Chain A
Amino acid sequence: MRDERSLFINIVALLILSVIGFYIYKVSMDTGKGIKITDNITPQMRVADRFMNKNVIKEESKYVWGGTAENTSANIVTSVVVDYRLFDTTLEVIVLFVTILGFGFVIPKDKRKIIKPTTILNRWAPILMILMLMIGGYMFVNGHLSPGGGFPAGAIISTAVLIGVLAGRKTLSQKTLKIIEAVAGISIFSLGIASFVITGNFFQNFILNDRIGDLFSAGLIPIFYGLIAFKVAAELSNIYFEFYEEC
């Protein structure tokens, strides 16, 4: 019985891997030159090209991408949100933190039996968790190229933990979550102070010399988004574990 189950899981994993491999093959055939992670010479299929060529005024007019703070990233909304208005997101994150502090006091602790989940949920939970983690990681890595960002990425990553909680698998300990949250919060504010020392403004981008539209560009924006994503994911997962402890 156990061998049949592991065989089934292996078949499903092979199917998912083959789908991913097919898409990688397709992308490498489209560019014609295989996969190059850091290709600085002939970019043909970049995610950001659709954003950079988008035009709402006229077909023939071209926007000039320069080195100022507004257009360091291909997605201008992101550079405005992160460079100018990161205070919004950090204060939202602090509000979430205070909410979770309140959870521990308000919810009464009483023990209850955990209902065992069905076999389907228990077996499919790791596969779904891997998919969720992939989507969440894509969100904050590509936050400066396409729609997305730190906050929804953190929410999607925390839904992976939620699936683990629903399937009765305890994936993380609460101490790990608290360490992740503390490290992310401290590094957000220390980066802010560093940018205040270097450029004179809080949360301003001080790494600008990159080619716009690449994956490794836009300076501090992906770093800030990654930190925010980890902090939000840790905070939201804390809520689930707070419920899970006694229900």
Chain B
Amino acid sequence: MVNRVYYLGLIIAFIMAFGSLWALLTDDLFKAIVVFGIVSLSSSVMFLLMQAPDVAITEAAIGSGITTALFIFTYKKLEDRKDER
């Protein structure tokens, strides 16, 4: 049981590290926003594995829901500005 949780945590940590590097290095802003949402979702699973369900709920609602939505709103606004020029 402990081993299984350990390996799941390792996989999620790998996904988080890979996703954060990808979000930093990519040129496309939209891809960066979506990958950032995936990183915060996997970090909420990580909090759940670390026996902190309160923080996991907050992270899943705010980190991967609201923050991604606000970033996408801002991205749309930036694209509109680009079209006007």
Q: Footprint of A on B, CB under 8 Å?
A: 53-54, 57-58, 61-62, 65-66, 69-70, 73, 76-77, 80
Contacts and interface: CB of A to CB of B under 8 A. Distances in A.
Interface string A144-160: 00011101100110110
Interface of A: 77, 112, 139, 147-149, 151-152, 155-156, 158-159, 162, 236, 239-240, 243, 247
A152 B61 CA distance: 7
A155 B54 contact: no
Given A112-B80, A247-B76, A152 B62 contact: yes
B61 A147 contact: no
A159 B54 contact: no
Contacts of A159: 61, 65-66
A243 B61 CA distance: 19
B54 A147 contact: yes
Chain A contact residues: over half helix, strand or loop, or mixed? helix
A158 B66 CA distance: 9
Contact of B57 (A139, A158, A162, A236): A139
A155 B62 contact: yes
B77 A247 contact: yes
Nearest to B58: A152
Given A148-B54, A155-B58, A236 B66 contact: yes
B18 to A, nearest CB: 27
A239 B57 contact: no
A152 B80 contact: no
Given A112-B80, A155-B58, A155-B61, 5 more contacts: A139-B57, A155-B65, A158-B66, A159-B66, A243-B70
A148 B57 contact: yes
Contact of A147 (B57, B62, B69, B80): B57
A77 B54 contact: yes
A159 B57 CA distance: 13
A68 B56 CA distance: 29
A7 B52 CA distance: 43
Contacts of A151: 58
Nearest to A149: B54
B73 to A, nearest CB: 5
A158 B67 CA distance: 12
Contacts of A162: 65-66, 69
A234 to B, nearest CB: 14
Nearest to B61: A155
Contacts of A155: 58, 61-62, 65-66
Contacts of B73: 240, 243, 247
A109 to B, nearest CB: 12
A111 to B, nearest CB: 11
A94 to B, nearest CB: 17
A152 B57 contact: yes
Contacts of A148: 54, 57
Contacts of B65: 155, 159, 162
Contacts of A156: 61
A246 B24 CA distance: 30
